[in-house]
Amino acid sequence: MPEELVFTFARGQLADAILVARKCTSCLVFVNLGSDRDTMLSEIERCLNRIFRRLRTKYVLEQDTLKDLSNIRESFENLLNGYSENHICSEYLYGTNFQRAVWEQLIKIPWGKTTTYKQIAIELGTPRSFRAVANACGANPLPLVIPCHRVIGSSGSLGGFKWSLLLKHQLLSREGKVVESQSSR
């Protein structure tokens, strides 16, 4: 039996997003940020095809016409507008043990705080794996829910962000965190 997934769109001041949840749990499993709905949907489908091929199973993706995801959408829109949210139900469909360990560390970073890729590597007991930590941040399926934007370089630079360094800077600024912009170096 295929995995049943539902999606909805969220709009915010800083970005828009497509949210994908498991139908059986209504927990988020995948988020993509962007501005064009068709592009976000095709990127989600491409990613899900790749993931489910690796999992050797099938999925069905349909729009949330019954509005089952309205609470999740409203909570996520708060994040897109730069406001704190206590908890959004989420779960992982994929990820290596290392990636999941990194994501669990990211969830612990408080609102308005940052840490470094190196510090996360140290906390995981693998101090030389800071590049692997950065790659795990880039593979994050749940941006903002798993706050990879709160991870910066040891020098204080922004590091990277899949959806643009400008958005990362805006998110951190909304959280009251001032960090050095890449362009000011």
CA–CA gap between residue 123 and residue 102 (Å, rounded): 9
Q: For position 176, what pLDDT does the model report?
A: 87
Pairing relationship of beta strands 28-34 and 16-22 according to DSSP bridges? antiparallel
- Going along the chain from its start, the domains and CATH numbers come out as 3-80 (3.30.160), 97-179 (1.10.10.10)
Query: Which residues, other chains included, contact 109 with Cβ-Cβ below 8 Å and sequence gap of 6+?
Result: 115, 147, 150, 151
What confidence tens digit (pLDDT) does each residue in 162-174 have?
Answer: 999 999 999 999 9
CA–CA gap between residue 28 and residue 20 (Å, rounded): 6
Q: How does residue 84 score in pLDDT terms, banded at 50, 70 and 90?
A: confident
Which residue would you say has higher pLDDT here, 177 or 99? 99
pLDDT at 183 over 60: no
Which residue would you say has higher pLDDT here, 181 or 127? 127
Query: Which residues, other chains included, contact 87 with Cβ-Cβ below 8 Å and sequence gap of 6+?
Result: none
**Catalytic residue set:** 148
What confidence tens digit (pLDDT) does each residue in 29-83 have?
Answer: 999 999 999 999 999 999 999 999 999 999 999 999 989 999 999 999 999 998 8
Region 132-144: mean pLDDT is 96
Q: For position 80, what pLDDT does the model report?
A: 93
Q: For position 181, what pLDDT does the model report?
A: 54
pLDDT at 151 over 70: yes
Q: For position 178, what pLDDT does the model report?
A: 67
- DSSP character at residue 154: T
Residues 126, 181, 101: CA angle, nearest 5 degrees: 25
